[in-house]
C-alpha cells in the first residue's frame, strides 16, 4: 500500500483541523449543518431515560471455541468474553431516539470497569440535552485532569454520538467530517501458543484478501520469550513473502534489552511498526529505544486521559498515537487525539480489537481523520460478530472495510435478539 506523505503546511493549514474544532465545540450544530438545518430544528434531544439491557450469554450461540485458541490463555479470554452477562447501555431522548454502546469486560486494566455506570449516567444525563454533549463528559477541571478518564464517560459519549447521528439520519463519521469512505484493514491476531499457529493463520488471512497482519506474540506459561517472538516474526515473513505488510505488538512485556533485540530483528525483516514494545510508563526507555531503531514505535492505548499524551510527543517516545476510546473519554476525546497527532505530523492508529461496538467507534474516527491508514480487525474474521447485532465487519475484495450506511454508529442493535437473550432491564 502506498504511504501518503504530508507536509507541515498540509497539517497546520489545509487539513480538516479547523472543521474538527468546530465539531468538538458544538457536535449538535455540526450535525444540524450536515443536513442543512439549524440546531433548533432537530428533534427534542432532552434525555428522558437511561437504562441497561442485561443479556444472558448462556442463551447465545457458543461461538467462543471458533474465535479463541484452545489454550489456557485462550480459554481464560473466552471465559471473560463469553461467560456471564452482556450489558448494553441505552440512553433515550424525549423524541424516542435511542443511543447504545456496549458495557463489557475487556483486557485487564484499572479503568475498564463499568460496574456502577447506570447511577453515574443517570446523574450525569437525565434532564440534560444531547446538545450539551461536550459538557456532559468533559474532564476539563483540575480535579479530573489529574486522574485518568472514567470509562463511564466514554460509554455516555458514544451513546450520545449514536443519538446525534440517528437524529439527522447520518453515520457519525459524516458529522465528524468524512475524509474517506473506506479504510484498509490489517488482521490482528489472538495470542496463539505456537509458531505454527501464526504461520497457518498468516497464510489463511492472506488468502482471504488481507494485505497486512499484526502479530500478538505467544505467552508461554503466562510469560514471554523474546527469542520465540523473533522466530515467529521470521517464520511469518517467510510464509507471506517480502511484499506483505507486517507489524508486531508484544503488549509491553519486554525489558529494554529485549525490546532492542526484537526491534532490530523485525526492522531487518521489513515490519512497518513496533507497537507497545515496553511498558507504557517507561517513557525514558521508549525515548532510548526510538533513538536506536528506525522502525516506528506506536504507543498510547494504555493511557487513560488525553492529557497524558503530550509528554510522549514532546520527548519523542512514540512515532504514532494510539488510543482506546473506552479509556480516553469516547469519540469526542478520540477526535481530539487524532488532531493532536495531526498537528505534530504523526499518524493516528486507534486500537480496534474486540466486538462490533468497539470496532464501530474507532472506525468512525478513522474515516474522519486524514492521518490514519489502518483499521485493526480482530481475526479470525467474524470474531467481532455478536448475536445481538444486525451488522458485521468484513473486508471487501481489495482488503478494505467500507464505511457504514446506517445512521448513528451504523451497526444496529437487534432488538428481537435482545428480547430473546434478555435477563432484565435495569433502570
Residuewise pLDDT in 10s, the chain (427 residues): 343 333 333 333 344 455 566 787 778 778 878 888 887 788 999 999 999 999 998 899 865 434 443 333 444 444 444 458 899 999 999 999 999 999 876 555 555 567 889 999 999 999 999 999 989 988 888 888 888 888 789 999 999 999 999 999 999 999 999 999 999 999 999 889 999 999 999 999 999 999 999 999 999 988 999 999 999 999 999 999 999 999 999 999 999 999 999 999 999 999 999 999 999 999 999 999 999 999 999 999 999 999 999 999 999 999 999 999 998 999 999 999 999 999 999 999 999 888 999 999 999 999 999 999 999 999 999 999 999 999 999 999 999 999 999 999 999 999 999 999 999 999 9
**7-18 burial: b if 16+ Cβ within 10 Å, else e:** eeeebeeebbbe
**Spatial distance between the Cα atoms of 262 and 250, rounded to a whole number of angstroms:** 10
Residue for grid cell 470509562: 151
**Spatial distance between the Cα atoms of 252 and 346, rounded to a whole number of angstroms:** 21
The full set of domains in the chain, from first to last, is: 17-171+415-426 (3.30.390.10), 175-402 (3.20.20.120)
- In terms of phi and psi (left: phi > 0; alpha: psi -120 to 50; beta: otherwise), the region of 321 is beta
**Spatial distance between the Cα atoms of 314 and 311, rounded to a whole number of angstroms:** 5
pTM of the model: 0.90
Amino acid at each position: 500500500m502506498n504511504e501518503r506523505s504530508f507536509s507541515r503546511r498540509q497539517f497546520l493549514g489545509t487539513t480538516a483541523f479547523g472543521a474538527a474544532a468546530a465539531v468538538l465545540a458544538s457536535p449538535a450544530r455540526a450535525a444540524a449543518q450536515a443536513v442543512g438545518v439549524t440546531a433548533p430544528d432537530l428533534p427534542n434531544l432532552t434525555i428522558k431515560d437511561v437504562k441497561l439491557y442485561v443479556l444472558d450469554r448462556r442463551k447465545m450461540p457458543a461461538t467462543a471455541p471458533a474465535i479463541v485458541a484452545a489454550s489456557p490463555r485462550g480459554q481464560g479470554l473466552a471465559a471473560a468474553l463469553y461467560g456471564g452477562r452482556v450489558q448494553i447501555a441505552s440512553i433515550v431522548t424525549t423524541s424516542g431516539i435511542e443511543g447504545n454502546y456496549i458495557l463489557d469486560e475487556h483486557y485487564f486494566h484499572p479503568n475498564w470497569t463499568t460496574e456502577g455506570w447506570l447511577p453515574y449516567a443517570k446523574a450525569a444525563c437525565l434532564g440534560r440535552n444531547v446538545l450539551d454533549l461536550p459538557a456532559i463528559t468533559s474532564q476539563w477541571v483540575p480535579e479530573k485532569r489529574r486522574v485518568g478518564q472514567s470509562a463511564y464517560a466514554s460509554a455516555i459519549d458514544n451513546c450520545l454520538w449514536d443519538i446525534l447521528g440517528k437524529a439527522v439520519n447520518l453515520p457519525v463519521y459524516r458529522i465528524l467530517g468524512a475524509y474517506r469512505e473506506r479504510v484498509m484493514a490489517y488482521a490482528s491476531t489472538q495470542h496463539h501458543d505456537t509458531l505454527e499457529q501464526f504461520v497457518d493463520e498468516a497464510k489463511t488471512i492472506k488468502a482471504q484478501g488481507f494485505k497486512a497482519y499484526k502479530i500478538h506474540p505467544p505467552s508461554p506459561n503466562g510469560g514471554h520469550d523474546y527469542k520465540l517472538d523473533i522466530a515467529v516474526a521470521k517464520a511469518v515473513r517467510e510464509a507471506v513473502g517480502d511484499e506483505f505488510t507486517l507489524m508486531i505488538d508484544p503488549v509491553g512485556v519486554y525489558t529494554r534489552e529485549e525490546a532492542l533485540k526484537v526491534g532490530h530483528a523485525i526492522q531487518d525483516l521489513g515490519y512497518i511498526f513496533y507497537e507497545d514494545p515496553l511498558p507504557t510508563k517507561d517513557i525514558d526507555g521508549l525515548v532510548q529505544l526510538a533513538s536506536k531503531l528506525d522502525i516506528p514505535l506506536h504507543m498510547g492505548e494504555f493511557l487513560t486521559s488525553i492529557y497524558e499524551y503530550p509528554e510522549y510527543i514532546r520527548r519523542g517516545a512514540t512515532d504514532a498515537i494510539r488510543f482506546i476510546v473506552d479509556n480516553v473519554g469516547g469519540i469526542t476525546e478520540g477526535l481530539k487525539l487524532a488532531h493532536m497527532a495531526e498537528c505534530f505530523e504523526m499518524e493516528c492508529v486507534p486500537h480496534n480489537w474486540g466486538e462490533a461496538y468497539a470496532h464501530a467507534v474507532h472506525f468512525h474516527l478513522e474515516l474522519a481523520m486524514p492521518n490514519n491508514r489502518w483499521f485493526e480487525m480482530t481475526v479470525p474474521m467474524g470474531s467481532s460478530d455478536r448475536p445481538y447485532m444486525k451488522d458485521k465487519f468484513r473486508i471487501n475484495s481489495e482488503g478494505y472495510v467500507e464505511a457504514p450506511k446506517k445512521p448513528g454508529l451504523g451497526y444496529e442493535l437487534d432488538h428481537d435478539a435482545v428480547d430473546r437473550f434478555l435477563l432484565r432491564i435495569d433502570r
